Structure 1
């Protein structure tokens, strides 16, 4: 097993990305507190550069490359948010980037990735293996493969979300009792877990996933990594990794209390709620922790709760339907 990051690596990532990443706000809302019976704080990553937390890990990874590696460029695979994060980080650092994206990824995510200067290679999610495609491209071009989650520096970079949550709460004299994080491959959850438990060791962390794609919840219960049967078909296009990452699960297993699953209807209501009550554009994948709170999937009464709203890159036509 390769080396795993620690809270010290998250702190190092925070220093590295500070000049380019935004420190996003931690939002509270009396109406949400009334619904849940808790003091809820939402980490608003739709306001992050590129519209999601993914920029944090991408920049932390790419900034570590040598000059020679930068000249050869990078290859990444993503349904959209990691794609935009890598593309923008590569643009800032002056290196070429190729992104392998599914054909059914939202048009907005493809457009924004291309606008950041990346070359896009499309694949069929149901029939083709994106890992094999990305590895071949990297080998052909001598480029560095940048995984979406199963990487030391990616996890450490994503962990700066959790570090900021703790810093904001401690400034108010608080520590979280419960932290909810959306989960695809588990990189965000791993980084947040390291940062949170460094300062709040008693906090309970939960993965949140859509129905039929709850591989983390089932893996935590089984004590080993298990796979989803379905490969696609969810409104939450950014949470469709088939299994937890090998490295991310090694970090998450001792830190995470369990997994929570939400329905598509609950996700739709959460997107609507965020727009109407918070005036915040949230994509379905980023809304699952909020969906878990609004639907009462966890009893958090009397607690201090932090939930990561992870991104806002939603197709405009879909968003219009969800908030109508």
Structure 2
């Protein structure tokens, strides 16, 4: 893959999967009879909360890091991230033995900051807005000369994220629909790339907080609409799409479904209670959308991408005042 700004192909996905397999988990697909009854659908949960670094982001970050030639890698990698991509890049850089710097909003969950540092990377804090994040990051790259691995607007990252849907299709069989949360759109874009190749009849949906609905508005308007600092409990979904992810979302996503903050918390609690697994608020957004849009999914086999499990246990949404 020569240019990170050129949309990846399915050949890039195949190469990425071969490249990253020594460093990632092939995560399980879990089911829940209670959630099937509630939704009227057969739900197959691809559990990336069990992934290295606690989120699907390990796939794209690892592909990017191990795609670098030795001379470039020696200067290290850098990124900006609300947490999961930063953790993933720190993990991948650690596996390759190269430096990593991550610009993170000061409001990111402490658990995510600790995870980045735990993998040996350096955290540089910024204000919780896209403009602050990008300004601070520009200073970091100018100083270090590190390779910028964008959280989602990077062909290497999208090709890596696409391996998640590839595994889901291989392990679950035919699916009527797949739904994933959307922020910047890296995972959704990867899912579009994989499924448009392997299963073009599978409908692809994205789910988004109503409080951070820029992707929904973008799809309706036919062009990218951005929000600088939306407020939602789903902290991983506060960023807006860019050109590479819009390329896939605009062509392949059937709809972007919105859910309220209360619906996100209720879905998160359901998964914790019924499936006995830890997952973060962003991961609950797809289930909330499925339950809210019963008629859209009833009677269908639906792949649901649980994106991560890096939750701050001291700030669970149902225990906060």
Question: Same fold, TM exceeding 0.5?
Answer: yes
Give the TM bin, normalised by the shorter chain. over 0.9
Separation (CA, whole Å) in 2 of partners of 1:158 and 1:297: 28
Would the alpha carbon gap of residues 277 and 127 (structure 1) be closer, same or farther in structure 2, given more than 3 Å must change? closer
Q: Counterpart in 2 of 1:251?
A: 248
Shift of 1:2: 3.9
Corresponding pairs, count: 318
Q: Secondary structure at the match of 1:12?
A: helix
Separation (CA, whole Å) in 2 of partners of 1:151 and 1:130: 17
2:95 pairs with one of 92, 96, 104: 92
Q: Counterpart in 2 of 1:83?
A: 86
Q: Counterpart in 1 of 2:6?
A: 3
Would the alpha carbon gap of residues 146 and 258 (structure 1) be closer, same or farther in structure 2, given more than 3 Å must change? same
* TM-score in terms of structure 1 length: 0.94
Q: Counterpart in 1 of 2:118?
A: 115
- Return 5+ residue gaps in structure 1 as ranges: none
Q: How does 1:125-204 map to 2 (within 5 A)?
A: 125-126=128-129, 129-170=132-173, 175-204=174-203
Separation (CA, whole Å) in 2 of partners of 1:48 and 1:121: 25
Does structure 1 residue 237 correspond to structure 2 residue 235?
Answer: yes
Q: Tell which deviates more after alignment, 51-60 or 36-45.
A: 36-45
Tell me if structure 2 keeps the 8 A contact 1:39–1:303. Answer: yes
Shift of 1:199: 1.5
Q: Tell which deviates more after alignment, 45-54 or 31-40.
A: 31-40
Shift of 1:138: 1.1
Shift of 1:47: 0.3
Separation (CA, whole Å) in 2 of partners of 1:128 and 1:300: 38
Tell me if structure 1 keeps the 8 A contact 2:39–2:294. Answer: no
Separation (CA, whole Å) in 1 of partners of 2:129 and 2:160: 30
Separation (CA, whole Å) in 1 of partners of 2:153 and 2:125: 21
Tell me if structure 1 keeps the 8 A contact 2:211–2:260. Answer: no
Tell me if structure 1 keeps the 8 A contact 2:212–2:231. Answer: no
Would the alpha carbon gap of residues 135 and 286 (structure 1) be closer, same or farther in structure 2, given more than 3 Å must change? same
Structure 1 consecutive aligned stretches of length 4 or more whose deviation exceeds 3 Å: 320-323
Separation (CA, whole Å) in 2 of partners of 1:185 and 1:128: 15
Q: Secondary structure at the match of 2:45?
A: strand
Would the alpha carbon gap of residues 154 and 126 (structure 1) be closer, same or farther in structure 2, given more than 3 Å must change? closer
- Return 5+ residue gaps in structure 2 as ranges: none
1:46 pairs with one of 27, 44, 49: 49
